[in-house]
Amino acid sequence: MGSRKIGVGFIGLGHNALGHIRAHIALGKSDLVAFCDRNPNRVEAARREFGGDALYTTEDIYSNPGVEAISIHTGDGQHREPFVKAVQAGKHVLVEKPVANTEEDVLAMVEAANSAGRSLKIQVGYILRFNPLFEAIHKAAREGKLGNIYYVEADYVHNLLYQAGQTDEMTGRNWFLEEELPMVGGGSHALDLLRWISGKEVVRASAYSNHFTFLEMRSDDCQVALFQFEDGSIAKVAALYGPRCEMAPCYNLRLYGTNGTVDRDRIAISSSTADVHPAFEQIDAPRVRGHPYGPEIEDWLDAITNDRPTRTPLHDGANSTLATLRAVQAACEGRAVEVAVLAAESDK
């Protein structure tokens, strides 16, 4: 990437945004121009920690000429408005996953990006694509080492009961309890990983759910879905928000192909058609804890500077979000539903 720094503004200054801001500082490839949050206490806290003069609780961030790109970290159901205003103002955008919490919002955001122009670089925050272990598995799959992948699974098993205490001091609401959909907010992480590694698109979804552990949530806290890809291969994703355990290792990733298998962080590759029980070996890749925000941000900034696609462009991230939204619909209606696939119009 060249030496030019990108002027970046941030909308939503919660825990996730602070992680991104610190990663920007560590990279040193952007200028932190503006911070925006509806809560003035968060804006002031950002000023104290990061400095800067452009601190907003209004919409001035969109008209600031020094803001070339905007990083959006509002609640899942509040992505649409800042995203649409940002692209209409000609700003590049990183928007956290899921793209939105309803199909209507996702499609409106895609339409806004399409109308704004194809030169804008959009990164959807499906961070698992930047985990070195999953990068190595993606490389092996794309090199054909697994053969034709016909069944895949991954889970988002994460105890999030602490979210019950995250009430917004400005609104008195807890958007997580009221709006969060585990298959979308968490499960789309897993599905996006499966789509990315396999290179396949979901065309049909079915699902079941129940509500036993996180009773404060409006939505069912346990959601399990089956997805059918366009070639007939199958994916399974479970999203659990109240398990009494640590997060599942490697997101319980398993891939089954005609020539090999991945089991979490191990891989078995057949040496010949007669080699039906190849031994598992540890995948040669670093193991990292937490989310690698730095590589995701660097990819976005480099895409802006060098006019190339991001690793997770808008249509791609939208397809992961839309498929999981359809899975929630399938569970509610007790039937399988079709899943439309968005083309890459906004990312050409």
Say what the pLDDT of residue 345 is.
Answer: 66
Taking residue 191's Cβ as centre, other Cβ atoms within 10 Å add up to 29
User: Average of pLDDT values for 138-166?
Assistant: 97
Nearest to 36 by CA among 16, 17, 15: 17
Fold assignment, 6-127+293-310: Rossmann fold (3.40.50)
Q: Where are the domain boundaries for CATH 3.40.50.720 in the chain?
A: 6-127+293-310
Say what the pLDDT of residue 219 is.
Answer: 97
CA-CA-CA-CA dihedral for 126, 130, 132, 136, to nearest 10: 80
Please report which confidence band the pLDDT of residue 295 belongs to, taking 50, 70 and 90 as the band edges. Answer: very high
Q: Where are the domain boundaries for CATH 3.30.360.10 in the chain?
A: 129-289+325-333
69-80: burial string, b at 16+ Cβ within 10 Å, e else: bbbbbbbbbbbb
Structure confidence by residue, pLDDT tens digits, 4-24: 899 999 999 999 999 999 999
What six digits make up the tokens of 293? 């925000």
Residues 234 and 318: their CA atoms lie apart, in Å, by 20
Helix (H) or strand (E) segment spanning residue 191: helix 187-198
Asked which of 59-73, 83-97, 132-146, 161-175 is least confident by mean pLDDT, the reply is: 161-175
Structure-token match 């991954």, residue found: 154
Q: What is the percent of the chain where pLDDT is above 90? A: 87
Question: In whole angstroms, how large is the CA radius of gyration of the chain?
Answer: 20
User: Average of pLDDT values for 93-115?
Assistant: 97
Q: What are phi and psi of 284, to 5 degrees?
A: -80, 90
Q: Are the C-beta atoms of 138 and 196 separated by less than 8 Å? A: yes
Residue 262: DSSP 8-state: E
Class of domain 129-289+325-333: alpha beta
Residues 136 and 153: their CA atoms lie apart, in Å, by 17
Any bridge partners for residue 263, and if so which? 254, 266
pLDDT averaged over the chain?
95
Structure confidence by residue, pLDDT tens digits, 331-344: 999 999 999 999 98
